[in-house]
């Protein structure tokens, strides 16, 4: 098991559906016919005329076109740009624009972001050099202390478990807390663990404990 616990600054912004009818054909009444006797008259034999044979035209040879070979998918850029690193774990707090761009092609992420209209959320991107069986993210849910400038009160703790990822795969996460949405509440990751062993716990999951 590889574990990296790290402290991350408050660089977080909240993430404020036709039938055809058959008709009977009348039977015609037969008419009497009269046979006429016709005298045969000789007819001249036509002279044979020479016919010019048509010269066959050659069809132009079809041009052969080369098929473009299938290009392999590009390898992910490594290390990922703008990420911090500790013990082979890369992490960063993505901007709202980055989150929306990723969510445009990821329906599960889009649903997770929708939850943040009701609850205060954090956001995070992680990656590992060797890949992870599952991720564990520990976060603090804090708010400014009205009695002491520059300090914060801890409202609760959030523990998030995330499904496995491949080596060098960047995973984009929403960290939904149990605290109702407020512009003054922040969810700050304080510990990131890339687990290499299996777990009996439910993955993915979010567990919030208020204080």
What pLDDT is attached to residue 70? 56
What pLDDT is attached to residue 77? 83
What pLDDT is attached to residue 119? 97
Q: Which residues pair with 156 in a beta bridge?
A: 141, 210
What order of strands is seen across the sheet that includes strand 186-195?
A: 186-195, 134-144, 152-162, 205-210
Query: Per-residue pLDDT for 26 more than 50?
Result: no
What pLDDT is attached to residue 25? 40
pLDDT 10s digits, 41-82: 444 444 544 455 555 556 666 555 556 555 655 666 898 999
What pLDDT is attached to residue 9? 46
Are 6 and 192 contacting, i.e. CB atoms less than 8 angstroms apart?
Answer: yes
pLDDT 10s digits, 169-204: 999 999 999 999 999 999 999 999 999 999 999 999
The pair phi, psi for residue 90, each rounded to 5°, is -110, 140
What pLDDT is attached to residue 17? 39
What pLDDT is attached to residue 126? 98
């Amino acid at each position: 098991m590889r574990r990296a616990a790290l402290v991350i600054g408050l660089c977080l912004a909240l993430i404020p559906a036709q039938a055809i009818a058959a008709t009977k054909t009348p039977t015609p009444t037969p008419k009497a016919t009269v046979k006429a006797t016709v005298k045969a008259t000789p007819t001249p034999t036509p002279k044979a005329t020479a016919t010019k044979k048509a010269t066959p035209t050659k069809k132009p040879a079809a041009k052969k076109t080369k098929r473009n070979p299938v290009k392999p998918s590009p390898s992910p850029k490594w290390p990922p740009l703008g990420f911090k690193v500790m013990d082979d774990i890369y992490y960063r707090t993505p901007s709202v624009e980055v989150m929306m761009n990723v969510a445009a092609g990821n329906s599960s992420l889009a649903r997770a972001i929708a939850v943040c209209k009701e609850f205060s959320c954090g956001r995070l991107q992680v990656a590992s050099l060797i890949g992870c069986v599952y991720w564990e993210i520990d976060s603090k849910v804090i708010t400014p202390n009205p009695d002491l400038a520059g300090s914060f009160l801890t409202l609760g703790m959030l523990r998030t478990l995330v499904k496995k990822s491949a080596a060098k795969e960047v995973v984009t996460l929403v960290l939904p807390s149990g605290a109702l949405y407020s512009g003054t509440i922040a969810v700050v990751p304080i510990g990131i663990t890339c687990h290499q062993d299996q777990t009996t716990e439910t993955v993915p999951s979010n567990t919030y404990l208020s204080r």
